[in-house]
Amino acid sequence: MKSLSSFVSIVLLSIGVALAFFSLLNILFQGDNDLHYLILLILSCLLMIASAFLVTRSELISIRKKINETESVVLKAKNESSRPEDIKNWRLRDLDYRVKKLEEKIIG
């Protein structure tokens, strides 16, 4: 996914640079104030901006994937570690079990 978006962004950037160069040459050297060369310049700038957005989007997606992987590792570590609440509950259950056993010995 990242290599495809990188390839597309490079293609968009190169097309944008070529069109901008072509339109600037025509505007500066021919002296025509034709509207289509200005439109071509604006569209080439939009292509270059779109390529920058595409690169940024792919980088954000990869960062989000790494954050999710890190969160899953942290959650696994947190769940596997013994928490003080679990130890207290275990002790209470053990004490309840021992009290029941003592009551059975006393009654029986």
Whole-number pLDDT of residue 28: 85
Task: Give pLDDT tens digits for 13-36.
Answer: 899 999 999 988 888 888 766 788
Distance CA(39)–CA(23), nearest Å, equals 9
Task: Give pLDDT tens digits for 63-104.
Answer: 999 999 999 988 887 777 656 555 567 777 888 888 888 888
Torsion, CA 16, CA 20, CA 26, CA 32, rounded to 10: 110
pTM of structure: 0.61
Q: Which two tokens stand for residue 89?
A: 């509950």
CB 54 within 8 A of CB 5: yes
What region does 22 belong to: left with phi over 0, alpha with psi -120 to 50, or beta?
alpha
